[in-house]
Amino acid sequence: MKVLRLHGAKDLRLHEEPKPVPGPGESLIGITAVGLCGSDLHWFSETGIGDAQLIKPLILGHEFAGEIAEGERCGERVAVDPAISCGECDRCREGNPNLCPTLRFAGHGVDDGALCELIAWPDRCLHPLPESLTDTEGVMLEPLGVAIHAVDLGCLRSGMRVGVFGCGPIGLLIIQLARIMGAIQIVATDKLTHRLEAARVAGATEIFKVNHDQRRSEIWNATDGEGVDVAFEVAGENEAVETAISSAKPGASVILVGIPDDDRTSFQASVARRKGLTIKLCRRMKHTYPRAIHLVESGLVEVRSLVTHTFSIDEYEQAFEVATRRDGLKVIIRPSQSKH
């Protein structure tokens, strides 16, 4: 089977390898679609994220969907949760499997991901896809799950003002969720014009192209001098963190979702302290796949339009070039062909 492995910074190589053999409680999945995430680009450009570094050639990819290739469920289409928690530790028993200390995650550390034709994965991580959802929509359930978890952390309620600072796919999904949850105002910022236009379509009521302090004062004025009730930083840049904090009203919550390039987050402490802000960090997601499936299947959240580029696995170089330049929104690679 075809396998795409990262050997070093920007050093991806296509290999032919034997197909994996599923273990107890696992199924063999023919992978039909894989999304490229910002974290994949960190691995691609920097060979790691924080203290997780490349120690062997690694298969990237954690946003994926496919078809069960063998056994009684052969042919069943599934979206795949990339996180494998132990289920036994205190964190798991407390309902926080995303904080499991022995968590395995596709395309991270020593655990291979989905940029290959076949993968063996635990059955408990496989979520059947309704016939009405395409493989592309199945891929987008993972970033939607992160957005759902971020919104849960923000304790969003109807009538709130919301700020979303960074309008990549997860930021755009947070905007959609805030809209359907009854936010009366959604302020969005980004450096890229096409992402701001996507934010407007998603439901943002005001959009601002990033321009340092000038934009912060404009955001404050746009909220009638009130500030936002919940600010979501989804850019992975300290400038966005500072803007989120400056735009938050006293007593607000700031949810940090982005992953910074240098593994450091900083902000002006006096502003955050005097406002009495609650700052939370978003660690992937938990128990969100069923909710994500229902939201997309019902039409409450639209994900298909966020996919702007699709490539075969043989076109991986072009796919990563487009994703790195941030030409569109979501880039998808198709290791295997599918009718959906």
**Residue 213 above 80 pLDDT?**
no
Q: What's the rounded Cα separation, in Å, for the pair 53 and 49?
A: 6
Q: Are 114 and 4 in contact (CB under 8 A)?
A: no
Q: Are 133 and 294 in contact (CB under 8 A)?
A: no
**What does the pLDDT look like over 7-33, one tens digit per residue?**
999 999 999 999 999 999 999 999 999
Q: Give the pair of three-digit tokens for residue 10.
A: 């920007």
Q: Measure Cα distances from 124 to 25, 54, 83, 135, 147 in Å.
A: 8, 27, 10, 19, 22
**Residue 72 above 70 pLDDT?**
yes
Domain covering 145-281, topology:
Rossmann fold (3.40.50)
Helix (H) / strand (E) element for 208: namely strand 206-209
**Residue 340 above 70 pLDDT?**
no
DSSP tally for the chain: helices H, then strands E: 10, 19
Residue range 88-98: mean pLDDT, rounded: 97
pLDDT of residue 214: 56
**What does the pLDDT look like over 221-245, one tens digit per residue?**
899 889 999 999 999 999 999 999 9
pLDDT of residue 216: 76
Indicate the domain borders of the chain: 2-128+303-334, 145-281
pLDDT of residue 211: 75
**What does the pLDDT look like over 112-168, one tens digit per residue?**
999 999 999 999 999 999 999 999 999 999 999 999 999 999 999 999 999 999 999
Q: What does DSSP assign to residue 37?
A: P
Domain 2-128+303-334: CATH superfamily is Medium-chain alcohol dehydrogenases, catalytic domain (3.90.180.10)
